[in-house]
Every structure is written in C-alpha cells, then in structure tokens.
Structure 1
C-alpha cells in the first residue's frame, strides 16, 4: 500500500467537541481523542484534568493529503475554536483546554503560521489571535469511552457544543 497519509494534531478545548467537524470530511481516515504537550507519559483523564501534567486535550487526525490538505484542516480548526482565548475554550477552562496547533513537520508549521497571520490580519476578531503553534510531541490516546463521543452520547455532545456552535455561527457564518 503506497497511499500517502499524514497526521495533524489540534487542541481546541474539549476533545469531544473537536472530533465531529473533522470526522465528517472527505479524506479523513481517523480522528482520535487524546492528550499531548505535557511531561507525564501515558496520562489518564483524571491526571490531565488535575492540570498538573502539562497535557492538553487534543485530536490526532489521520488523513489522505491527496483528498484534503493540511491547510484545509487548519481552516476547519479555526472555525471550531475561539482563537482569542488562550486559557480554555468556551465553558472548558484551564491549561488542559488551551488552543494549540501541534505541527508534525516544518511544512505544517509554515502553513499554520501563515494561516494564523492571515486570520489575525482579517479583522474577523477584535481581540488578538493567541492560539499557540508548537512542535508535536508524543500523543497519548484517551480512554475508549472518550473516543467518538458524539456518536456514543449525542444528547450530552449537543449540550457540550452549544456555546461553541453559537460562537462559530457569530464569527464564521455571518
């Protein structure tokens, strides 16, 4: 199998809320919820929630770049987050919910930096864009009950994403 695949890692608050928007795109092979950016190997959800591991909740997206580009994924990412809030997203507060684009290559870094600069210059937001762009480190998949949460508990998922959807519609649909 010589099919080219790549991965992208995005943190944008609760990882439950970050799966569905990517999972629905053509060219997406998988979206895994997990933890990254910290100093504790194989952390548990409880450890990450304690805000002592340095990890943030994130999604690791495996994709076919001949169908969907990394640049397209970054554009989808911006529309799922509040890039002006560095210490959480919506009702989820703290370091483990910070918005970060974790890059896997110099090319991904260039694309993410250019996209962030374009967003900052767009005037779409009145506050500065504070989303970090950092080199990816180890990614640890979250426990099974966190995977594909929007399918497992659609009612709770809808409740969790209410503020996020409202924000997105206000800033992106108008």
Structure 2
C-alpha cells in the first residue's frame, strides 16, 4: 500500500476534518498550518495574520481506495471557492481557501477539477481558489485535532452559526 498526502485549506480547520475523516482509504486527517514564513507557528501567531500561514488539513490516504480526484471533489463541496478573503464567518489570510499539491499529477487533477467547476455554472462568481505547491505543514496544537469529536457541542454550535452549512446546502 502506497499512501499519499493531500493538503487543503478551507477556512476553519475544525470544519474541514469531519468531511474527510470517515471516507474509505483515509488513514488520517491532521489540522495544521501551511503556506507561511514562520517555522512551527502557534495558533495565536497564525490568527494574527502576520505569519502568512493558513489553517489547513493534511490528509494521508490510499489513492487505490479513494483517488485524489475524489478528495478534490469533496473539498470543493466544503468551501466557498469564490471568496479569496476567507471562508464564511472566518475572514482573513489565515482562513483563505487553497489546494496545496504534492505532485505534478495532483496539480493537473486539481487544475482540471477547478476548470470543470468554473464551467459548470454552479457559481455566479469566478472560482478563485489558488492551486499552489505544498509547503511545510505544521501540525496544530493537540486540542485542535479531531475537535468535532472531542468538543462536539462547541463544534456543532460553531458550525451552525458559521454560515458554512447553509452555503453548502444552497450550492450543492
């Protein structure tokens, strides 16, 4: 079995774990920070917007069981791919959407998927989610990991009031 990594930013990482966590072939979904210029940033540093990092999830998966193309499709359905400034109630660089590719094949798949989504007419605005090379990924603090399981009531309240679910229901 050859495992691969996929890295996606889609706003608050708490909300990006659960959609991927129970899919077949997923070995792990880790919350963390990527895309910035500070080594080993903390949550407090990232939320200032001065590290350049964005909250993201890094998924370790078996592409024979769940192909990267399918992960990208799940990703689109969790985000507002038309908002360059963040996601839902979470705005700012640390919440921007992005697909971080780990190989040329992933880049091609993500670019093609983005093109198909733009051409689908599902969204009135352009699809702006950048597709960028993967950069160092720093695991977030332990209390952020599997937050939807550890703090279910807090997670559910946050998610319900974030605007994410109503947006997803409207567009998907």
Q: Could you state the TM-score of these two structures normalised by the residue count of structure 1? A: 0.97
3-state SS in 2 of match to 1:169: helix
3-state SS in 1 of match to 2:60: strand
Counting only pairs closer than 5 Å after superposition, residues 15-164 of structure 1 correspond to structure 2 as 15-162=13-160, 163-164=163-164
**Structure 1 residue 95: Cα displacement:** 0.2
Q: Could you list the structure 1 runs, at least 4 aligned residues long, displaced by more than 3 angstroms after superposition.
A: none
Distance 1:129 1:49 in 2: 25
Q: Cα deviation per residue 1:115-170 (whole Å; 9 max; x = unaligned)?
A: 00000000000011110100001000000000000001111111222211111111
Please give the root-mean-square deviation of Cα atoms over the aligned residues, in Å.
0.6
Q: Could you state the TM-score of these two structures normalised by the residue count of structure 2? A: 0.98
Q: Which runs of 5+ in 2 are unaligned?
A: none
Distance 2:56 2:12 in 1: 8
Distance 2:165 2:23 in 1: 18
**Structure 1 residue 90: Cα displacement:** 0.3
Distance 2:25 2:48 in 1: 35
Distance 2:122 2:140 in 1: 33
